[in-house]
Chain A
Amino acid sequence: DTEVTQTPKHLVMGMTNKKSLKCEQHMGHRAMYWYKQKAKKPPELMFVYSYEKLSINESVPSRFSPECPNSSLLNLHLHALQPEDSALYLCASSQYGETILGEYTFGSGTRLTVV
Chain B
Amino acid sequence: GNSVTQMEGPVTLSEEAFLTINCTYTATGYPSLFWYVQYPGEGLQLLLKATKADDKGSNKGFEATYRKETTSFHLEKGSVQVSDSAVYFCALRLGGGGSNYKLTFGKGTLLTVNP
Residues of A within 8 A of B (CB): 4, 6, 40-43, 45, 48, 56, 88, 90, 92, 98-101, 103-109, 111
Contact = CB atoms under 8 A, between A and B. Distances in A.
Interface of B: 32, 36, 41-46, 49, 51, 89, 93, 95-97, 99, 101-103, 105-108, 110
Given A43-B105, A45-B103, A90 B43 contact: yes
Nearest to A111: B41
Residue from B89, B97, B103, B110 whose CB has the most chain A CB atoms within 10 Å? B103
9 contacts: A40-B108, A41-B107, A42-B105, A101-B32, A101-B93, A103-B49, A104-B46, A105-B46, A106-B36
Nearest to A105: B46
Contacts of A56: 99, 102
Contacts, number: 51
Contacts of A100: 95
A89 to B, nearest CB: 10
A109 B40 CA distance: 12
A99 B101 contact: yes
B51 A106 contact: no
B108 A108 contact: no
B43 A99 contact: no
A4 B44 CA distance: 11
A42 B108 contact: yes
B43 A107 contact: yes
B109 to A, nearest CB: 11
Contacts of A48: 101-102
A42 B106 contact: yes
Contact of B101 (A40, A42, A98, A108): A98
